[in-house]
Amino acid sequence: MNVDSGEYDLSDLDDDVGVKRKIPVGSAEHRSRYEYRRIFLEVEDAVFGQPSLNSIDWLPRLPESLLIERYKTQDKEVITTKILDQTRDVLKGLYGDQRSRRHVEGLYFEGAMRFHAEYPVLQPLNTVFRGMGLDVEPEALDLCDPDVIDDELLIKILQNHSEVFLKKKEKFMSGLSERREVFLQRLQTFTKEKGIAVIPEDLQRKADELKFSFVDPLVISLEEVVGTYNPEEHHVRIAGNLKKGQVDHVVTHEVLHGVSGQTILSSKGLFEDEGEISYQRVGLRINAKGNHFKWLNEGVTESLAMELVGDNLDIYSSERELLNLLLTSGSTEISDILVHNAYFEDFDSSKSPGERIPAWKAFYQAVNQAYAPGFLTMLDAYIQGNGVKAGIDQIGKDWHTVMEVETRSKRKSRLKKDASISPEERQVTALAE
């Protein structure tokens, strides 16, 4: 990053960095590294509550001496309550976290649908679920407190959750090949019609090599709640509580991340088979000297997903709005083809330095011309400090404000770095910049 001008130093993306070297996407070295990472994945088949159910099932088979040693009692009802109390504590913790609260609600709503006639305590939840989905009234949520659910009902709710999840998972995994094929057909048709520079064989290879997991969000937390892509494993995880009409869209969004362009760094270890890879760039998101342009990457990804699937889940709406403003609010409009070319561009190690990421450079320079040198970098810094909605407001009013705010911020930052100079020298430095 050039602090004076705000320019992003594109040579960081074009050349090797220190002891690390850039390797081709899809190379044997790249594949071997992410396949190795997959060995250490979390247990993807875990279902919430199943370990507790297994422990309870095993109680009749355990000798009394072992029960006393482990649980300090041989009373199986007392032990069952102890096991379920641990599950209740986990549920309370998950319910207290805004990111996982909806998943706990879903667990109880599943039980309410099936057992409300047998257990009147669940009737209010069933009524709310059928009428309002997860947008429930506060008084209905009181029933999500595990303390009001006795052991017998909690066991049934956990068993039901396991059955529902495993059926959904089987259906999802059995249709995976067809989903992958449909995705590629849509993407290749779209890129051809729009004139986006992609290599169909590369898209096919990336999609074919993706690992998919259908996970219980009560067990494995997903960064984006409903799905996530991990480049280090080349792995897409889809949340098991998605509604039927959401699956196609979420899969499309995450697979787009998986087939987007990448810049990969490799470092050698002490031995031949050791070393690590890191992802300097995935799509338009850059992990170099910080984490940059996530908002831009998600805005483009979701816009593409909407084009390919033809629906709108109303996710990343602020990022999409900011993307549209970026393309249209400068002195000249920026073609979305430039953005898409940069999004799908892989680092090309076969080219000469300075020519390895031409699409990204073309997009960056188009932003410079439409606004001012370094504007994209300054906008990103402004958003990281103030949020996407603040970025929308400033571009909508006057984009020059972003430049002014970030220029002042950089000047203050530089002055703080050298505490040894006198106040007079600091003033001179600030005026000279």
What are the pLDDT digits (tens) for 182-216? 999 999 999 999 999 999 999 999 999 999 999 99
Lowest mean pLDDT among 228-232, 240-244, 262-266, 426-430: 426-430
Quick check: is 151 in a domain?
A: yes
What are the pLDDT digits (tens) for 59-82? 999 898 888 888 899 899 999 999
Contact 345, 261 (CB under 8 A): yes
Quick check: is 92 in a domain?
A: yes
Quick check: is 141 in a domain?
A: yes
What are the pLDDT digits (tens) for 252-261? 999 999 999 9
Please tell me the total count of domains within the chain: 1
Quick check: is 55 in a domain?
A: yes
Quick check: is 227 in a domain?
A: no
With a cut of 50, say whether residue 5 has pLDDT above it. no
Residue 238 bridge partners (DSSP): 214, 227
Owning domain of residue 134: 50-172
Quick check: is 93 in a domain?
A: yes
Model confidence, pTM: 0.82
Structure confidence at residue 412 as a pLDDT band (50, 70, 90): low
Quick check: is 158 in a domain?
A: yes
Quick check: is 307 in a domain?
A: no
Contact 157, 108 (CB under 8 A): yes
